[in-house]
Each structure stands twice: as C-alpha cells, then as structure tokens.
Amino acid sequence: MGYRQGQFLAMEKPVCLITNTSGGELQVNQEALDILRSIGQPVVVVSIVGLYRTGKSYLMNRLAGKQTGFPLGSTIQSETKGIWMWCVPHPRRDDQTLVLLDTEGLGDVEKGDQTHDTWIFCLAVLLSSTLVYNSMGTINNNSVMSLHYVTELTEHIKVKSNNEKAEDTSYDYARLFPTFVWAVRDFTLELEIDGKAVTADEYLEDSLMIKNGSSKAVALSNEARECIQNYFPDRKCFEFDPPGSKEKLQSLDQLRDSELDPQFVKQTSDFCSYIFGFSKEKTIKGGITVTGSLLGNLAVMYVDAIRSGSVPCLENAVAALSKIENSTAVEESFALYRRLLGERVKLPTETQEELSSVHAGCLEEALQLFMKRSFKDEDQKYQATLMERVKQVYEGKCAENAEMSRNHCAALLLQLENDMGPKESYMTPGGYQRFDAVLNNLVNTYRSTPARGVKAEEALQDYLAEKNQLGKIILTADRNLSEQQRRLEEQRVQAERESKRAAAEAAAREQQRALERIRMDEMERARRENERQLMEKMERDRIAAQRVIDQKLREERERLEAECRRQEEQRIAEIQRLQNMISQNRRRSSRGDCVLS
C-alpha cells in the first residue's frame, strides 16, 4: 500500500474503512486508520450512496483519476461491502487530500438488512463534506421514496449532547451536514418542465417540491422531500446519459473514453470538475477543520457509538476529539522538547545561562508544535500540563548539571592535590608557609581550569574547609618559631584563613544568587512566551470563529433568498396555471355556444 507511518503517499488502490464482523457488527479497519493517521493535511471527503448496482464505483474511480480501483462488477450482485476508502492528493489544492468513500449499495436483496443500510447511510453523512446520491432513470416519486434513509437521520444522529436541554433543529443539522449532490444515471428524458427547458438543478428542485394530497404514500414522499430540503440546503444535480450499449457496460472499467458515449464522457468530466472545484474541506462543530488523523478518530468514535447501541453525537465527538488530540499534542510536544534538549545541551555546562538559553529555545519550538497540533484547549488545561512536565524535566536537567559539575570539580581538586606532596613534609619549621603557598597555587590553577561547571565555587569552598583543618595541624607543628613570631604568624594565618574562607563563602553565595536570578529570568521568559503564543492562538481562534459565523450568515442569507425566489416562481407558476385554466374554460364555452347556434 502506498503509505508509510508519518508521511502520506498516494494510495495505489482502495482499502476497506468500515466492514462487518462475523457477528454482524460494524468495525473500522486498522490498515485504513493507519493511512488516515499519516495524513496531517485537511481532507475533502466525498462519499457516494445509492441503491446497489447503480454504477457508484465508476464515478469514484473517475474522481480518483483512475480507470479501475473501486470494483464495478457486471452482474446484479452488489460488489462493494461496507465502506471503502481511497485517499489521493487533491487535483487542485496542494494543501489538501481528497478522501473518497464508496459505500455498500443500499437495498441489496441478498442482505435484506435495512438497519445496516441506515447506519451505512448515516456514517456516509457523518464522515463526508460532500454526499453524492446515485440513482437510475429519473427523479420521480419512487426515487425520492428510495431515499427514505434521510427521514431517519434525526433518530440516528444527534447534534447536541445530552447535557444540553435544547432539542436539535433542522438548522443544527443543516449547518453540519455535507453538500448534497444527486447524480441521475441513464437519464434519457429531455430536461423540460411544462415545455420549458430547465437545468439539472432546476429539475432537482422541482422534483423536491411538496406534492398535493393527504394519502399515507404522499405524506411519506413529502417527508423525504422536506428532510432533503431542510437538512441539505446546499444541493446540486447532475444527469448522465447512458454510457453506451448494455454489452459495453459489462466492461466499463476497461473501455477508453473514445469508446463511450461522448455526452456521457462530458457529463462525467463536468461532475468531476464540480467536485474538485466546489467540495469543501471537512469540518466539525465549531468550524474545526478535519485532518486525516481526525477523520480516522471520528470513524472510530461513530462506529463505537453504533456498536454500543447509542446514537452518534456530533458535539460529544468534538469533545472526545479534543481530549484525544490535545493529549497527543502534549505527548508530541513534550517528546520534541526532551529530544531537542538532549541533542543541544552537553553536560556539564560552563554556566547556568548556557543551559537556560538552550532550554528557552527548546520550549519555544515545543509550544509552537503544541499550538499547531492542539484545538479547543479552552481552559489551557493541556498546555498547563505540558508546561509542568517541561518544568520537571528542566529542573531535573539542572540538578543533573549541578551534580556532574560537583563531581567533576571534586575529581579535579584531587588531581591537583597530588602535586602538594604528603602532609608530613610540612611538619617542619616554615612548613606552614610552604603549605599556604602550595594551596594558593592549587586554587589559582583550579580557577584557571575551564569547563568546571556551575558548582565550581561551591566545590572549592568545601575543599578549602577540609584543608583548613590540615593547616591548623601544620601551624601547630611549626614549633621553632619564637613565641612572638608564632603569635604574629598565627594571627596572620588566621586572618588569611578567615579571609580565604570568607571569600570562598562570598563567591559561593554570589554564585547561588546568580543561579537564582537566572532561574527567575527563565520562569519569566517562559511565562511571557506562553502568554504570547496563547494570545496569538486566541486571536487565530477568534478570526477563525468569526469567519465561520460570517460564512454561516452568508449561507443563511443565500438560502433565504433562494427560498424566496422559489416561492415567487411557484406563485408565478400557479398564476400561469390558473390563467391557462381560465383560457381553456373560455375556449370550451366558446365552442359550446357555436354548437348551440
């Protein structure tokens, strides 16, 4: 199969996305999930539904730019089982992937399971951004009635969660349902209404007009029409001539365009061009753009809901996706931070600033990844989790840095001490002066040695405290000095010793204060970076939300204008019909008068 983990490549052929288990339950195929999870781009999802053996797979193969792929078959038996998926690069948009879903034919007499058909139809609606309904012949009452699944959508799909008291409305469904495209195959009639040429779209709208009558059959038919009008305000219609003779249909996937009816070829090309040009990327409630990875998670959640006997809920799906995606964003961003920190820092560092600078750069990249990968982290809970985990790792790295520095400095001091000789060599007159000179030389050599790390002065302070005790012993042993000299020397030595100790302590305290200042600066920089990226994300979210609202307002305005035009056209048509009736009555009356005379 043409993909590898982490990088999507065009699939060579379709794979099954949703199938039936041996127990008759729906199940998502793991191979298809792996493919979807490798797609980080937004997806345009086009699904096709319709009665079995109506040529759905041929249209999907053409959308994939292939002659074969989805099985066509040449008998009255259904070829496609479950829902099959084919992911291909979008022909016109480099930043999107086209996902084609070919569904199991509805109404298969061999299967005879209407509940299964209903769930297949619902899943196609839930997963797609464009839904193609494929039918044969004409759009008449029978074809509308065959789309009765649309009347059951509200029983099998919920928009709001159970926590909300408000009931779902047709507007709620219309905002989230896909664009509806009706493909009429083997259409042999003229596109005329009352002798006037019409477009395929006008033909569809006329066919969806509510019929007069009070019978049960008319009521059921009108219910389907109302559902299509209410749930799918964005509608399009394509009519297709027969592609050729019946014999050719048996090998349709093997024929070149030159062997098919030219009008059918053009109609197929127009259909594909519309799908490529006008099909929108898949979004979910809140205007969130769906990537391949999100689509795979949606499929799993919807199928799991169906298997558990509950009704798929669009709002719950968004909440569940938010939890999954934000948890993944935390893990990926945290893993990036740890990897970058491990690659960029070599312990022990010479200064705390060096480690702090590397930490700041790694944190910035990790936060950028989190902001890009996460969505709907409205209370910043997941971002706070990421920051806490980063803080723990950084503090651990600081502790490790300090320990390595301390051990390195201790080893260095022991190495330098080898040049001092045994302590017995200083137990002579003037021995303390020699000891003090050698110790001073050791301190100077130690401080001039590079790469001692952040605990250099603290380690030296500990070492000098130890040598101070030895100095006392050597000083006591220096007995040949006169009492006055000994007293003066002792005072001088004590003063120097205290001075060295005080200087070492002061240096250690200053180093510790410097470390604390650096840590405080780091925390402030991290806080400012966090706030900056958060504000940027909030602004992007606000802009995206405003775009969604503006788009919905435009769509509602266009829908209302279209509805007004349709009602006006109906009113004009009714007036025309009444005028025709009056004219006919007048002519009959005129002929009757002539007969009487």
Say which CATH number the domain at 336 has.
Answer: 1.20.1000.10
Does residue 590 belong to any structural domain of this protein? no
Q: Are residues 97 and 200 in the same domain?
A: yes
Q: Region of 394 please: left (phi>0), alpha (psi -120 to 50) or beta.
A: alpha
Q: Where residue 407 falls among pLDDT bands split at 50, 70, 90?
A: very high
What is the structure's pLDDT at 521? 86
Q: How far apart are CA 101 and CA 126, in angstroms?
A: 12
Does residue 534 belong to any structural domain of this protein? yes
Q: Where residue 419 falls among pLDDT bands split at 50, 70, 90?
A: confident
Instruction: Tell me how crowded residue 274 is: count the other CB atoms within 10 A of its CB.
Output: 14
What is the structure's pLDDT at 6? 41
Q: Which domain holds residue 275?
A: 15-312
What is the structure's pLDDT at 181? 94
Q: Are residues 291 and 382 in the same domain?
A: no
> How large is the average pLDDT for residues 261-286?
90
What is the structure's pLDDT at 592? 66
Q: What is the pLDDT of residues 470-484, one digit of tens each?
A: 888 777 776 555 555
249 or 321, higher pLDDT: 321
Does residue 88 belong to any structural domain of this protein? yes
Q: Where residue 313 falls among pLDDT bands split at 50, 70, 90?
A: low
Q: Are residues 280 and 146 in the same domain?
A: yes
Q: Where residue 96 falls among pLDDT bands split at 50, 70, 90?
A: very high
- Residues ≥6 apart with Cβ < 8 Å to 164: 315
Q: Are residues 254 and 300 in the same domain?
A: yes
360 or 419, higher pLDDT: 360
Residue 439 has pLDDT above 90, yes or no: no
The DSSP secondary structure of 2-47, one letter per residue, reads --BTTB----SS-EEEEEE-TTS-EEE-HHHHHHHHT--SBEEEEE
Q: Are residues 135 and 226 in the same domain?
A: yes
Residue 15 has pLDDT above 80, yes or no: yes
Q: What is the pLDDT of residues 230-239, one digit of tens each?
A: 888 889 999 9
Helices 30-37 and 292-307 pack at an angle, to 10 degrees, of 150
What is the structure's pLDDT at 73? 44
Q: Where residue 22 falls among pLDDT bands split at 50, 70, 90?
A: confident
What is the structure's pLDDT at 393? 93
* Strand ranges in 90-210 using DSSP code E only, listed in sequence order: 97-103, 130-136, 179-185, 192-193, 196-197
Instruction: Tell me how crowded residue 382 is: count the other CB atoms within 10 A of its CB.
Output: 21
Q: Are residues 296 and 335 in the same domain?
A: no
Burial class (CB in 10 A: 0-12, 13-18, 19+), 131: buried
Q: How far apart are CA 127 and CA 119, in angstroms?
A: 12
Does residue 423 belong to any structural domain of this protein? yes
Q: What is the pLDDT of residues 170-190, one digit of tens each?
A: 555 667 788 999 999 888 778
Q: Are residues 426 and 520 in the same domain?
A: yes
Does residue 561 belong to any structural domain of this protein? no
Q: Are residues 291 and 334 in the same domain?
A: no
Q: Where residue 2 falls among pLDDT bands split at 50, 70, 90?
A: very low
Q: pTM surpassing 0.75?
A: no
Mean pLDDT score across all residues of the chain: 81
Does residue 227 belong to any structural domain of this protein? yes
What is the structure's pLDDT at 47? 93
What is the structure's pLDDT at 170? 55
Q: Are residues 129 and 207 in the same domain?
A: yes
Query: Which among 507, 525, 545 is the end of a domain?
Result: 545
Q: Where residue 338 falls among pLDDT bands split at 50, 70, 90?
A: very high
Instruction: Tell me how crowded residue 225 is: count the other CB atoms within 10 A of its CB.
Output: 21
Q: How far apart are CA 235 and CA 511, in angstroms?
A: 72
Does residue 523 belong to any structural domain of this protein? yes
Q: Are residues 378 and 334 in the same domain?
A: yes
Query: Which among 257, 280, 312 is the end of a domain?
Result: 312
Number of domains composing the chain: 2
Q: Where residue 276 falls among pLDDT bands split at 50, 70, 90?
A: very high
What is the structure's pLDDT at 101? 94
Does residue 585 belong to any structural domain of this protein? no
Share of the chain above pLDDT 70, in %: 84
Give Cα 213 to chain centroid, integer Å: 49
Residue 507 has pLDDT above 90, yes or no: no
Maximum mean pLDDT: which of 13-17, 52-56, 448-452: 13-17
Query: Which among 312, 338, 360 is the end of a domain?
Result: 312
What is the structure's pLDDT at 1? 44
Q: What is the pLDDT of residues 123-148, one digit of tens each?
A: 888 899 999 998 888 887 777 777 77
Which range is least confidently modeled, 154-163, 281-290, 394-403, 452-461?
154-163
Let me know: does 10 contact 97? Beta carbons within 8 Å.
no
Share of the chain above pLDDT 90, in %: 20
Let me know: does 304 contact 26? Beta carbons within 8 Å.
no
Say which CATH number the domain at 239 has.
Answer: 3.40.50.300
Q: What is the pLDDT of residues 23-75, one digit of tens each?
A: 778 899 999 999 998 898 899 999 998 876 667 888 998 998 887 778 754 33
Q: Are residues 46 and 189 in the same domain?
A: yes
Q: Where residue 77 falls among pLDDT bands split at 50, 70, 90?
A: very low
- Residues ≥6 apart with Cβ < 8 Å to 166: 160
Q: Are residues 528 and 405 in the same domain?
A: yes
Q: How far apart are CA 325 and CA 322, in angstroms?
A: 5
Residue 109 has pLDDT above 60, yes or no: no
What is the structure's pLDDT at 53? 67
